[in-house]
Structure 1
Amino acid sequence: MSSTTYAWCFDHGTLHHFHAPDEPWCTAAWVPFRAASEEQAMEAKQHAYGDARFFDELPGDKQLEVIEIRETWTSTAGPAF
């Protein structure tokens, strides 16, 4: 059984779909969301980051948040989101 991790990519300005058990293929600044569907992921993205599509559209505190989330993901070999 395969599961999908939905992640907003602030480098590409789009929602990525990563399918387990494969490793995420994008090495850019993306944030995963706990979501069962693309629609839920987009709602979570809107709630957390508003209309920002790209990294430079985020305020400083949100930029740091994205960096920290990405570092956590890569240092723990991908937590289940």
Structure 2
Amino acid sequence: MNITRYVWCFSHGALHTFREGDTPWCTATWIAFTATTKAEALAAKHAAYGDAQFLHDLPADKQIEVIEIAEARTGQL
């Protein structure tokens, strides 16, 4: 079974999808959401980050949160 992982990319300002188990093709600043559909992922993104499309659209504390999550995912911390 192929599972799709939905992520919001704050660098590209768009929802990306990756197949679970594959190496993500985007190496920018993105946050993954637990969702089974695009609509669920967008709702989760909106609940967590509102209407922000890009990183600079977020308040400073949320920018730091997103950056820390992305860095933890890539092992850069």
Alignment of 1:1-81 (within 5 A): 1-75=1-75
Could you state the TM-score of these two structures normalised by the residue count of structure 1? 0.87
Q: Is the 8 A contact 1:11 1:55 kept in 2?
A: yes
Mapped to 2, the partners of 1:25 and 1:62 lie a distance apart of: 24
Report the RMSD for the aligned CA atoms in angstroms: 0.8
Q: Is the 8 A contact 1:7 1:33 kept in 2?
A: yes
Q: What's the offset of the Cα at 1:14? A: 0.5
Q: List structure 1 runs of 4+ shifted beyond 4 angstroms.
A: none
Q: What's the offset of the Cα at 1:2? A: 1.3
Mapped to 2, the partners of 1:31 and 1:16 lie a distance apart of: 10
Mapped to 1, the partners of 2:4 and 2:73 lie a distance apart of: 15
Could you state the TM-score of these two structures normalised by the residue count of structure 2? 0.92
Structure 2 gaps of 5+ residues are: none
Aligned length: 75
Mapped to 2, the partners of 1:6 and 1:73 lie a distance apart of: 15
| Percent identical residues | 55
Structure 1 gaps of 5+ residues are: 76-81
